[in-house]
Structure 1
Amino acid sequence: MTATFTRRAGLALIAALALSQAASAQSAFPDRAITLVIPFAAGGSTDLVGRVVAERMSEQLGQQVIVQNVGGAGGSLGATQVAEADPDGYTILMGTVATHALNPLILSEKPYDPVADFAPVSLLVLVPNVLAVHPDVPATTVQELIDLAKSEPMSYASSGNATPLHLSGELFKSMAGVDITHIPYKGSGPALTDVLGNQVPMIFDNLPSASAHISSGKLRAIGVTTAERSPAFPDVPAIAETLPGYETYSWNALFAPAGTPPEVVDTLAKAAQSAMADPKVAEKMATFSATIVGSGPDELAQHVAAEMTKWKPVVEGANVSME
């Protein structure tokens, strides 16, 4: 009996130690560096936001958050990498409207499910887009531009097929009742170059990348795509002031792989929210014309569902698809 009792006691002690170690490991998250996958090349607005957030979250979590740029396929390569990563919180994604609303609707082969394959963490910021024209275009308001487009052929540039900016133009076409031709480019840079040179009269672009040209007078901002005016350009009206209900924007949000423990998601969300509440981060985001949200996981899940609902008829109406 004594030997059996001792053996049982030993087994119980081992089990208790294992449970204690497991609980300690969970409570200690993170105990090593976290990789934040940016699904686009360095230098874009998503990369800029991601690096600011990663730096501040590193301070909050006591472990380095390392940025890894994984560009390609409109953000799908990086998103797929995170969807297939271990669900332990050590690999997370800077998701966007492209990765979690447009690509799942546009791609003929779906490399991931934007809902089933991810655990929402936090909606960080909203970034306005802008409709701008070359100064030689004889329109200074949204209504004047609509009237002009109805009277003569016009085209608009964007950073590429099936991008949020392309679809911002398609939504504008649909709501304004105009037939403007889309001219896709391989990125915002070459698109802006041709609009600045008046090879194409108008462009839908992210406000941060177009802002310097607007401020210098090389481009004329006609309207921002958010429901309300941007604090960075308060004199530029929202397109919605002329076309009620028009609203598009880029956004950045954190996602973990599906199956990540709730307590780990909660730790990441609190670190992200704390980062977005930092005055220095707010000041930096203002230079990107970004509006801070800093939501929790539930709010981000609702946001993704609403974005997919909004964009589905636009994608179908524009007959946009990608291999």
Structure 2
Amino acid sequence: MKTYILAGALAATFAMTAPLQAQDTYPAGPITLVVPFAAGGQTDSAARVLADALQVELGQPVVVENRTGAGGVVGTQSVATAPPDGYTLVIGGPSTFVTQPLLSKEISYDAEADFAPIAIFAVAPMMFVVNSESPYNTLGDLISQGQSEELTYGSSGVGSSMHLGVEWFKSLTGTQAAHIPYRGSSQSLPALLGGEIDFLIDPPITALPLVEDGQLRALAVTALTDDPRLAEIPAMSDAGAEGYQQMIWNSIMAPNGTPPAIVGKLESAIETILAKPEFAERLQQLSLSARFIPSDELSAFLANERAVYGNVIEQNNISLD
């Protein structure tokens, strides 16, 4: 009988200590970083820059895997149901972790309950732009005109950050503007250049080259930034849309239930990486700025984003269903 009791005690002890030992040795093998968008885009490129740096910092391969479909939902959902052991992570952003879950009841994952936030590692404002031949030289000019007559604006589609961002701007300033959705910046920017619409909000990676080329005029950026190329452009909050702040951001998320020790190790590794000038330089080439927002602050940040966008969506009755 004593033999059985001893054996049972040893088995129980092993069962309790094995997960702790696994956390102590993490990572002991390759990590998969899921990008829920196609290869070659800004999100994918930023993920590969981070994966290269994490591989060096953690001493294990970090493999980027593109799992596309449904605007990022397919890849994100695959990580929501992955083992919470730190070996499957996902790149998170505004669409997959804030706006799409608010816009559609068909999303199969819970962006808040199914994931453990690790950190934001890259951010960028967007640019409020008009045609260079536009009569609007400042954001104030456009707001004044839009308060007396209806303007038009384009976006990358219904429910996109560009669409929701302008609707928020309208509610803050009383600007009247009709929405004309396009299928991405590749269509909306030519429409602006061709005089089909009055203005739009678009990321620097696509809008800035046209501003630098003299084809577009930047009236404002959607948030304060340390990108030197945007230093002379006023923030919308200082140019007539008080309280406005909208950012593109890239984060790392793990499945909910991932041990805090593993979350902490990944968070610490990302913080170390972001302190290196060469990492910031590589991100700047993608029109992104390195910025570390740790897991506890990320949770609060996400709650605020959901509150802001949720209010915009509800007020304007916007849905993807």
TM-score, with structure 2 as normaliser: 0.91
What is the CA–CA distance in structure 2 between the aligned matches of 1:21 and 1:264, rounded to whole Å?
Answer: 14
What is the CA–CA distance in structure 2 between the aligned matches of 1:16 and 1:172, rounded to whole Å?
Answer: 58
Q: What is the match of residue 255 of structure 1?
A: 253
Shift of 1:138: 0.7
What's the RMSD between the two structures over aligned residues?
2.2
Shift of 1:68: 1.7
User: Are 1:47 and 2:47 counterparts?
Assistant: no
Q: What is the match of residue 159 of structure 1?
A: 156
1:40 alignment partner AA: F
For the 8 Å contact 1:79–1:93, the answer to whether it is kept is yes
Shift of 1:256: 0.3
Q: What is the match of residue 304 of structure 2?
A: 306
Structure 2 SS opposite 1:75: helix
Which structure 1 segments of 5+ residues have no match?
A: none
User: Are 1:217 and 2:214 counterparts?
Assistant: yes
Which structure 2 segments of 5+ residues have no match?
A: none
Shift of 1:303: 0.9
Is 284-293 or 309-318 further displaced after alignment? 284-293
Q: 1:84-123 maps to which residues of 2 (within 5 A)?
A: 84-123=81-120
User: Are 1:74 and 2:71 counterparts?
Assistant: yes
Q: What is the match of residue 243 of structure 2?
A: 245
Q: What is the match of residue 145 of structure 1?
A: 142
Shift of 1:232: 2.4
Q: What is the match of residue 267 of structure 2?
A: 269
Q: What is the match of residue 83 of structure 1?
A: 80
Shift of 1:278: 1.7
- Structure 2 CA distance for partners of 1:21 and 1:104, relative to 1, 3 Å: closer
What is the CA–CA distance in structure 1 between the aligned matches of 2:41 and 2:194, rounded to whole Å?
Answer: 22
1:209 alignment partner AA: T
Q: What is the match of residue 282 of structure 1?
A: 280
Shift of 1:175: 1.4
What is the CA–CA distance in structure 2 between the aligned matches of 1:252 and 1:10, rounded to whole Å?
Answer: 49
The counterpart of 1:232, out of the listed 211, 215, 229, is: 229
Q: Deviations over 1:195-236 (max 9, x none)?
A: 233333322111222111111111111110014675321111
The counterpart of 1:191, out of the listed 188, 193, 206, is: 188
Is 67-76 or 236-245 further displaced after alignment? 67-76
What is the CA–CA distance in structure 1 between the aligned matches of 2:95 and 2:56, rounded to whole Å?
Answer: 29
* Same amino acid, percent of matched pairs: 38
Q: Deviations over 1:94-121 (max 9, x none)?
A: 1111122211211133412121110010
For the 8 Å contact 2:226–2:289, the answer to whether it is kept is no
- Structure 2 CA distance for partners of 1:283 and 1:267, relative to 1, 3 Å: same
2:112 alignment partner AA: V
What is the CA–CA distance in structure 2 between the aligned matches of 1:171 and 1:17, rounded to whole Å?
Answer: 55
- Structure 2 CA distance for partners of 1:192 and 1:70, relative to 1, 3 Å: farther
